[in-house]
Amino acid sequence: MDKNIRIAIIGGGPAGLSAGMYLEQKGYTNYSILEKSARVGGKCWSPRYNGRRYEMGAIMGVPSYYAVEDVEKFCGITHDGPKLNRNYKNSRGKVIEPFEPKKNLLKIPRLLKMKKQVKLFGELLETKYKGYDVNGHRGVAEGRYDGYAVTPGREKVEGVNENLKDLALPFKTFCEKNGVELVQDIWIGPYTSFGYGYFDEIPAAYVLKYLDFQTTMNFVKVNLWTWEQGTQWIWEQLNDHIMHPARVNSEISKVERRDGKVFITVNGKVEEYDKVIVTAPLYVADGNMGNNNGMVDYFDAREDELELFSKIDYERYTVQAVTTEPKDHPEISYYVFDNMVKERLGHLMVYYRRWKDSIDQVITTYALRTHKDMEEVPYDKCNEMVLEDLKIMHNPAKEVVNAWSVYYFPHISCEDYAAGWYDKVEAMQGKYDTFYAGEIMAFGDMDETAEYSRELVERFF
C-alpha cells in the first residue's frame, strides 16, 4: 500500500492510539486520530483525588501484555505503580480465605479437586484447544486458528483444530464438557468482577482470549503491573510521543465513502481521506448512551455492516469512587464472590484500594447490571445497592466523588459466534476503504485491543 495515503483513525483509546503508533513504525505518517471526547485513553480513565490518580476503568496489566510493553518501549516508560493485593469477603461482610485449605477444612476435597482440574485445564488448552489464545477470533467458528502467539516474539501461527468450535459455547458449558467445572472458581475473579458478564451467557472464546492460562496464573500469583499515574497515563504518554497526537473534541457528524475516498465531516468541516480505521464503537444496542453512539449512526452504513453490527451487545458495568471515614477505610482490596452470580445482579462485586500508604484516598466499587435472562438493574438503583453493600462490608462510604457507567465490553452471543460472525466481519476488512478494530474485534481490555491494532496494521498496511 502507498505509504503516503491519508488514513483517518476514529477513536483515541488504546486501539486508536496504538494503530497510529504501529502505522508510524511501518512508515505511514499521514494519519489523523479523531477523538470525540476531551481526553485520550478511552476506558483507561485515571482522574485525580487529593494529588493522586485513581482508576475508574482499567486497573492493571500482566507480564504477557506485550502490546502495552510495545507502548512502554516506544515512550520510554515502565510500570512503576503500587503493588496490588486482595482479600475476600462473603456477602455478609465477613473476611474469608476461600483458597486456603487450613481455613476451610470442610472444603478440602473440593479444593484438591479444583487444583487437579486447573492443572488438567492447562493441559487441555495447550493440546486439545491448541491455538485458543491467539489474538482475535479469525477462523475459530470454522475450527481453525490464524494469528499471533501469546509469546514475547508473537510468532505468526495458523492451523486447523476442529475442537476450537467449542469456544462458541458458554464458558460454563465449555468447562462442564471438559470435566473442569471447578476452574470457574479461579477464572471468575478477574473476569466477572471486572464487568465481562457471567459464565452461563458469555462465549468461552472471550474468557480464554483474555484470560489465557498464563495470564490467569499471573492474576493468581498477583504478578501484576500498575502505573503510578494510572492506566490513562500510558495512553497520554503515547499520545505525546506519536507524530500526530489525537485531535480531541472532534465531533464527527457524517462519514461518506465514495469514489475510493472517505469524506469525514468533523466539527462541521469535511476532510478527505483514502482509508479509515474505526476503533470507536460499531453499534450501541440501545441507541446513544451518554457520549457514545455507534459507527452505523454517522457512517453511510451499508447493508452488510448494519446486519452484522446490529448483533453487538454490551455490558452495563457501573463504577463508583467513594471516600470513607478514616476508621472505615478498607485495609486492602476485596472480592465478594457471593455477589458474582446473576441472582445478586447489581450488587458490589469488588472494591479496590489503590494506595496502601494513605487512607485519604478513594476506593473504587464495581457492579454489573445486566444478564441476558434478567431485567436490567437501573443505574441509580445499582448505585444505591452498592452503597448499602459497603455498609455491610463494614466500609461505609462517606461521599461519592465520581460515578461512571460506560459502553463496556462489546460482544456477540454464543449463537452468532458459532454462526461465524467474526469471519464475516474479517472478510469485510478493507471493503469500502474501511477497517474495523477496537474492542469488539478482540476483547475489551487495553492489551487485546492494542494487539489487534498491531495485527491489523501487519495484515493490511
CATH number reported for the structural domain that contains residue 78 in this entry: 3.50.50.60
228-252 pLDDT, tens digit each = 999 999 999 999 999 999 999 999 9
CA nearest to 246, candidates 230, 233, 235, 257: 235
Query: Residue 15 falls within a domain, yes or no?
Result: yes
pTM (2 d.p.): 0.95
State pLDDT tens for residues 303-356: 999 999 999 999 999 999 999 999 999 999 999 999 999 999 999 999 999 999
Residues facing 89 on adjacent strands: 95
pLDDT at 20: 98
Question: Could you give the CA distance from residue 191 to residue 445 in angstroms, rounded to a whole number?
Answer: 11
Determine the pLDDT at residue 290.
53
pLDDT for 259 beyond 80: yes
Task: Note whether residue 91 is domain-resident.
Answer: no
Q: Are residues 424 and 290 in the same domain?
A: yes
301 shares its domain with 334: no
Residue 106's pLDDT is: 78
Residue 70 lies in a domain: yes
Percentage of residues of the chain with pLDDT beyond 70? 98
- What would the mean pLDDT of 414-419 be, rounded to a whole number? 98
Domain final residue, candidates 410, 425, 448: 410
Number of H helices, E strands in the chain: 14, 18
Same domain, 114 and 187: yes
Q: How many Cβ atoms from other residues are within 10 Å of residue 69's Cβ?
A: 18
Residues 446 and 370 reside in one and the same domain: no
Q: Look up the CATH number of the domain holding residue 347.
A: 3.30.70.1990
- Residue 94 falls within a domain, yes or no? no
Query: In this structure, are 74 and 156 located in the same domain?
Result: no
Identify whether residues 427 and 295 lie together within a single domain: yes
* Shared-domain flag, residues 300 and 417: yes
Q: Do 233 and 260 belong together in one domain?
A: yes
Question: Residue 149: pLDDT band by 50, 70, 90 thresholds?
Answer: confident
Looking at the 3D structure of the chain, how many domains does it have? 3
Summarised one tens digit per residue, pLDDT across range 267-307 is 999 999 999 999 999 999 765 455 568 999 999 999 999 99
Contact 262, 278 (CB under 8 A): no
89 within a domain of the structure (yes/no): no
CA-CA distance, 216 to 167, in Å (whole number)?
17
Cα pseudo-dihedral 7, 8, 9, 12, rounded to 10: 130
Whether 62 and 191 share a structural domain: no
Q: Is residue 144 part of a domain?
A: yes
**What CATH number has the domain bearing residue 111?**
1.10.405.20
**Of 193, 220, 247, which marks where a domain is finished?**
220
Backbone angles phi, psi at 336, to 5 degrees: -120, 85
Q: Tens digits of per-residue pLDDT, 159-168?
A: 999 999 999 9
Question: What span, in angstroms and rounded, lies between the C-alpha atoms of 216 and 222?
Answer: 10
Q: Tell me: the pLDDT tens digits for 69-120?
A: 999 999 999 999 999 999 999 999 999 988 887 777 778 899 999 999 999 9
- Domain with 439, as residue range(s), is 7-82+228-312+412-460
- The span from the CA of 155 to the CA of 148, in Å, is 5
- Whole-number mean pLDDT of the chain? 95
Average pLDDT over residues 363-391: 96
Residue 288: its pLDDT value, please?
46
CA atoms lying within 13 Å on the CB side of residue 27: 6
Of the three residues 220, 249, 276, the one that is the final residue of a domain is: 220
pLDDT at 285: 78
Q: Are residues 305 and 324 in the same domain?
A: no
* Same domain flag for 199 and 136: yes
User: CA 57, CA 47: separation in Å to the nearest integer?
Assistant: 10
pLDDT-derived band at 7, boundaries 50, 70, 90 = very high
pLDDT of residue 291: 53
Q: Is the pLDDT of residue 205 over 80?
A: yes
Residue 1 lies in a domain: no
Whether 395 and 339 map to the same domain: the answer is yes
Q: What are phi and psi of 197, to 5 degrees?
A: 95, -175
Q: What is the pLDDT of residue 100?
A: 84
Stretch 186-195: mean pLDDT, rounded? 95
- State in Å, rounded, how far the first CA of the chain is from the last one: 6
Domain-located, residue 128: yes
